[in-house]
Structure 1
Amino acid sequence: MEKKKANFKLKGLRVEHNLKQSDIAKKIGISESTYNRKENGYADFSETEMYKISKIFKKDPAFIFFNNIFFDDKVAK
């Protein structure tokens, strides 16, 4: 199984809100082990799971799940 990039934003939000992986897993309807694999980059969250997680933290899914977009200096000027 190939590891992708771990979701540090999600982990940070979870820790900030004093939630365990098992808490989030239960709220979105998956097992703790499945959640662990997804948070650590071994599997992807489904769109439905991303939506549910974004509602838990009251954040836009793009903020939690997608990398920031960096612009070339020439475009930014």
Structure 2
Amino acid sequence: MGVNYKLKSLRIKNNITEKEIAYMLHMSISAYSRKEIGSRNFTIGEAGKLARFFNTTIEDIFL
């Protein structure tokens, strides 16, 4: 299971839109979308925010 698949699965499982995640990370929807599909990388700060948001660890999402 790839990194991007894990993140997208978490988002969909929790019924969260790309728009909501982008807003939480203070970025545009298109910037978030590029990161979710793997065209761009998340910063460590963004990864931490995602882990806290989904109540999991960075490792669970990105490893």
Shift of the alpha carbon at 1:28? 1.2
The answer to whether structure 1 residue 12 and structure 2 residue 4 are counterparts is no
**TM-score, with length taken from structure 1:** 0.76
Q: Map of 1:33-52 to 2, 5 A cutoff? A: 33-52=30-49
Could you tell me whether the CA contact under 8 Å between 1:28 and 1:49 is conserved in 2?
yes
Task: Indicate the percent of aligned positions where both proteins have the same amino acid.
Answer: 35
Q: Which has the larger radius of gyration?
A: 1
**TM-score, with length taken from structure 2:** 0.92
For residues 41-65 of structure 1, what are the alpha-carbon distances to aligned partners after superposition, in whole Å with 9 as ceiling and x for unaligned?
Answer: 1000000000000011000001101
Which has a greater percent of helix?
2
User: Which stretches of structure 1, 4 residues or longer, exceed 3 Å deviation after superposition?
Assistant: none
CA RMSD of aligned residues (A): 1.2
Q: How many residues align?
A: 62
Give me the whole-angstrom Cα distance separating, in 1, the residues matched to 2:57 and 2:30. 25
Q: Map of 1:1-77 to 2, 5 A cutoff? A: 7-66=4-63
Shift of the alpha carbon at 1:6? 5.9
Could you tell me whether the CA contact under 8 Å between 2:3 and 2:61 is conserved in 1?
no
**Unaligned ranges ≥5, structure 2:** none
